[in-house]
Structure 1
């Protein structure tokens, strides 16, 4: 049987394996999926996880539960030698080993794109994984608990009640708005803290937010956020974040960047773009374009600089530069988002089976049907062509779309059931930061052998 190796179990990797199980005949091919994580995270739900509106485990899909015919290997692919069709697989704490394959599918996704700004690496956190979303949720709740016991004129109290989000794209605005909504719910449980004490700042280097929607819709979102006590700073850049003190640069009337406001904070969420997973790309001999993505043709097969197909190699999702056949994108390739990753994976699975059977492949073609964003309980934004909605109806459309888009009925039911419970019971806003140190309490009080007497 031909051996198919899938590198990465995120959106594109999971859906490729899932659909291969559907399309492949019995014993037609062996499929192996390698990922250090045992699950796929549904990234559009991360802002709601951070806000306590969705339970973390409900926003992930277990590989082993739902990929019944695929061999799962929880490890990292640390090298791809496609010239010899060999991958180096490195398990945590174990020795690396080589795997010979016939077809490779690279779907290792993307990471947060950062810049060498002092203090960001040490103090900020992204919003690209379920673990990051949980950490932000726990930090926000814990900060409220700490601030409530401090005097009102305390500098530490002000810092604990300040949140800064960097990046005004969909991920940043959704995270920003959901955290503001979560804080509003927390205020009902903390009479010691007033609404005016909580400060939420979003910093965006461009002159607008949410480029995926019209300028008019983005202005409505800005107005809505302003009414809810959330401050958006356009034409503003983070200059320094040392010790968690965010110093900014703002554009003046002459177009020059000058020193701007300073925001001491305990939570800095970085959502200013993504880049292809560099460790996987740089550890392979597959061709790539200047932005670091693996180059493919429209049927998802990898191609070199001259456009020649690299036999046995495929790529999809954020790590791949896939041609945009609709002609609607400026650089000619599909943008890195979940909508494309899922659809590319479905097409890739069909094309890979077609190649195994000696049949023709079909080009990937997907015209964006619109964009929808959840901006906190009861607030949202929706854009499809010239048609736009904001407010409750857009929020309902967001939940309806993503509730249905969540893979597998088992996962859909858990998410929908959680939303139903929260409607009557409210958010379950309990922080579990101590789970990161599970032995601390036991170790503090554990009896130890007495020192030997000489």
Structure 2
């Protein structure tokens, strides 16, 4: 039976496995998916998770729950040798092993792309995982709790300042959502005024959100300004040592929260750890039919899709002639790739991927959003409804859809649940603080040495023995 190995369980990987289960006949092929995480993260919901509008577990899709016949392996693929059709799999515990395959599907996704800026690696946090979104939410709520007890001054200002780097869709969405969440926090914290909070977005280009028209992006800037947010265009981050964000303009922003959303890059562990062809931007060279290789010559048995792949955009709307790395393309490529893999197994020809971008939609906090499709632009409440409608339907499986819709419904009537669970990151703190520990070996030896002479006293009580025997002798004589 042919073996299909899927590398990565994100958008493209999960959907490929999900659709292969639908298209393959029983016993036609064996599918294995390898990913270190046991779930797929629906990344468009990360800004809402960070803002407390969606519970974290409801924004992920469990692999084992929704993949019925696919073998799910919780590990990393650290090497691909397509010449021998083998892959090195490294588990979190235990020794690596080699897995053979007949068809390999590389969907390892992307990671945050950073630059060697002092302090960023030590102080910033990305927005590519559910764990990062939860950490951002808990940190901001905790900082507001701390700031309420402090007098006006530099430390208080630092706790109430949030800096987001990157003015693309991810940056703008999380920036607007966090600004909205901060406003809701003030209702229960009378000691903090709106003017005390500071939100800054840093963008190196002269505009934000290149996916929409210039006119629409300018509207977003005005809308953010009305809500007290500051956007720094044509500005670069020069340093972030000890949380002091130094800008190219000379301004310094002391902060305790730095969110980095300035671009992504293909997963380097998979790309560099294999012999598959790579293009100049570090992505796997992929044909329009999603087979790895050039337009003239495909690489038999190798496929790629999603953010890790450089897929030609036949619609003509891509950047540099390739599909942009977003969820819309990843999902549609995965669905076609599942059909193409099955077609090749049955001796048929694969079809080319061609999809025109339907548009871009972003949430900008509760009841506010923006939508752009061609020359059509929607703003405000209608765009917000379009945002939630599109992503609510795009969430895989009805089980997940209902969980997300349930969060939205409960929050509509009851409001956000603005409670920080930051202690989850150090769960043993309370137990360790009061736990009783064994005494050190030296401390035990010292008291034992002090008690040693006292132990000889019972043997030295000879008079006491004589006294006990004397009455007995007198009784005999009498």
* TM superposition score normalised by structure 2: 0.92
- Is 1:437 aligned to 2:429, yes or no? no
Where structure 2 has 5 or more consecutive residues not aligned to the other structure, the ranges are 447-478
Q: Give distance in 2, aligned partners of 1:189 and 1:84.
A: 62
Q: Write out aligned runs for 1:31-50 (5 A).
A: 31-50=31-50
- Is 1:302 aligned to 2:301, yes or no? no
Q: Write out aligned runs for 1:133-172 (5 A).
A: 133-152=133-152, 154-172=153-171
Specify the SS of the correspondent of 1:417: helix
Specify the SS of the correspondent of 2:246: strand
Specify the SS of the correspondent of 1:53: coil
Q: Write out aligned runs for 1:264-279 (5 A).
A: 264-279=254-269
Specify the SS of the correspondent of 2:445: coil
Match of 2:389 in 1: 400
Match of 2:93 in 1: 93
Q: Write out aligned runs for 1:338-377 (5 A).
A: 338-377=327-366
Q: Give distance in 2, aligned partners of 1:310 and 1:429.
A: 52
Where structure 1 has 5 or more consecutive residues not aligned to the other structure, the ranges are 250-258
**C-alpha distance after superposition, 1:305-349 (max 9, x if no partner):** x73111100000000000100112241110000000000000000
- Is 1:417 aligned to 2:409, yes or no? no
User: Following TM superposition, by how much is the alpha carbon of 1:437 offset from its aligned partner in structure 2, in angstroms?
Assistant: 1.2
**C-alpha distance after superposition, 1:168-193 (max 9, x if no partner):** 00000001000000000001011000
Specify the SS of the correspondent of 2:188: coil
Specify the SS of the correspondent of 2:171: helix
User: Following TM superposition, by how much is the alpha carbon of 1:448 offset from its aligned partner in structure 2, in angstroms?
Assistant: 1.6
User: Following TM superposition, by how much is the alpha carbon of 1:261 offset from its aligned partner in structure 2, in angstroms?
Assistant: 1.5
State the structure with more CA Rg: 2
User: Following TM superposition, by how much is the alpha carbon of 1:206 offset from its aligned partner in structure 2, in angstroms?
Assistant: 0.5
Aligned residues: 443
Q: Give distance in 1, aligned partners of 2:318 and 2:273.
A: 29
User: Following TM superposition, by how much is the alpha carbon of 1:433 offset from its aligned partner in structure 2, in angstroms?
Assistant: 1.0
Q: Give distance in 2, aligned partners of 1:287 and 1:345.
A: 20
User: Following TM superposition, by how much is the alpha carbon of 1:93 offset from its aligned partner in structure 2, in angstroms?
Assistant: 2.2
User: Following TM superposition, by how much is the alpha carbon of 1:282 offset from its aligned partner in structure 2, in angstroms?
Assistant: 0.1
Specify the SS of the correspondent of 2:83: helix
- Is 1:453 aligned to 2:442, yes or no? no
Specify the SS of the correspondent of 2:343: helix
CA RMSD in angstroms, aligned pairs only: 0.8
**C-alpha distance after superposition, 1:221-244 (max 9, x if no partner):** 111100011111111110111111
User: Following TM superposition, by how much is the alpha carbon of 1:125 offset from its aligned partner in structure 2, in angstroms?
Assistant: 0.5
- Is 1:67 aligned to 2:67, yes or no? yes
User: Following TM superposition, by how much is the alpha carbon of 1:94 offset from its aligned partner in structure 2, in angstroms?
Assistant: 1.1
